[in-house]
Amino acid sequence: MVNRIKSGRKALVLATVMAVSVAGCTGAPQDGLAAVRTADGKPDFSGIWQANNEAHWDLQAHAARPGIVTQEGVYPYEYAEVPAAPVLALGAAGGVPGSIGVVDGDGEIPYKPETAVIKQANFDNWVDRDPELKCYLPGVPRAMYMPYPFSITQGAKQIQMAFTFSNAARVIHMDPETTGPPDFTYMGFSIARWEDDSLIVDTNMFNGRNWFDRAGNYHSEQLQLTEKLTLETPNLIRYEVTIDDPEVFTRPWTISMPLYRRMEPNAQLLDYRCIEFAEEFMYGGLRREQLVKRWESETMIIDVTRKVPPGERLHEWYGR
């Protein structure tokens, strides 16, 4: 699937990068930013924000596809696949929108040969492997561009980010002496500093169980992020991330995208407590009487194949 969408992508990505560069190089203080500065003169990121792109589907440029999981249709061609069982009942609402991608440069993610194989296997087994489907803490940077609003509260010593999905949160410490957590984490450990008007956040201590997107892009616990947040206008954060993980990638690579302020005067975060949404998915097969059955008569019968991949900790553990 990844190979299939290569053609025509590079030109689009290049155009995007150039556009980003032009916008990012204006340098001088931006009009209207005086209104969004803290008492000590720093840009104030406080508010409700949201990405407005397709990065949560796939960081890389891709054509629209009929579903996040597809199967062979009438023709044996990859480009003629049809939605597979897990999304079939959703019709046109189950498709994946195309994207110009958010990976800078040539748009490639520099996997090693052996890790590229894992990425492809992740893609091919999305339903079974993506931690998002289980409502696990989404990790960083994924939480920053999931299709839900998130909140930034900028305090004197910390910046707190709260995410709609899974009620996840991250604390960004402004005091460089702050000690890290006692353990590796899903959401990382973040220490930030100011470089001119940009907030530079160094984030590490990941447990390596998160993905970047729904296309199987992944990282290990070696992940080291350098995030740069720049308030370009009162309502737009330029978000740039350098991703370094020598266990998975041959070199650091970067993604960039705008994050937009939610402009509704009453914008606020609402619950998305997805643990209960994922219980049927995770434990439905362990019920005394299973709720998902083959439907009969005129009602659609859906056989959902949910394979348990080798190495899936929870299932291997309880299946002993």
Partner 1 sequence: MFRRYLAGFVVMAGLIGLTQLPKVVQSVDAQGQETAPGPAPTTAWGDPDLEGIWTRDSEEPLQRPSNFRDKEFFTDEERADLDRRRAEIIARDASRERRETNGRGTAEQDVGGAYNAEIYTSHLRLGRRTSMIVDPENGRLPDLAPRAKEEMAALIEFSLALKQSTEVCENALPSCRGGEFIATPSPRRNEMPPYYITARNGLPGGGGGVISRSDGPEDRGHGERCMSSTIPDFRGFRRIVQSKNQIAIFYDTGQGQGWHRTVPITDAPHLPANVRQWWGDSRAHWEGETLVVDVTNFSPKSNFNGAHENLHLIERWTRLDADTLEYTVRVEDPTTWVAPWTATHTMKKQEDQANRIYYEPRCHEGNYGMAALLVGARTDEATFARGEGEDPAKKCLGACGGFASGFADEGDDANPLR
How would you classify residue 27: left for phi > 0, otherwise alpha for psi between -120 and 50, otherwise beta? left
Please list the residues that pair with 143 across neighbouring strands. none
The end-to-end CA distance of the chain, in Å, is 34
Please say which residue, 111 or 218, places its beta carbon nearer to partner 1: 218
Task: Write down the least CB distance from residue 248 to partner 1, Å.
Answer: 18
Query: Cα dihedral angle (135, 199, 259, 219), rounded to 10 degrees?
Result: -40
Residues 188-247 that bind partner 1 (CB under 8 A): 207, 209
CB 258 within 8 A of CB 236: yes
Name the β-bridge partners of 200: 193, 228
- Residue whose entry in the numeric block shows the structure tokens 């362990």: 286
The least distance separating partner 1 from the CB of residue 160, rounded to whole angstroms, comes to 4
Number of shown-chain residues binding partner 1 (CB under 8 A): 58
Max Cα-Cα span within the chain: 68
Tokens coding 314: 């929870």
Regarding 46 and contact with partner 1 (CB under 8 A), the answer is yes
Q: Which stretch binds partner 1 (CB under 8 A): 27-35, 59-67, 134-142, 240-248?
A: 134-142
What character string, x for contact with partner 1 (CB under 8 A) and - otherwise, covers 10-39?
A: ----------------------------xx
Applying CB under 8 A, the span of 40-48, 87-95, 96-104, 247-255 interacting with partner 1 comes to 40-48
Our finding on whether 133 is near partner 1 (CB under 8 A) is no
Q: Sign of the CA dihedral 78, 81, 85, 91? A: positive
Interacting residues toward partner 1 by CB under 8 A: 38-40, 44, 46-47, 134-137, 151, 153-160, 162, 167-169, 171, 173, 175, 177-187, 207, 209, 265-266, 268-271, 273, 275-276, 279, 282-283, 286-289, 314, 317-318
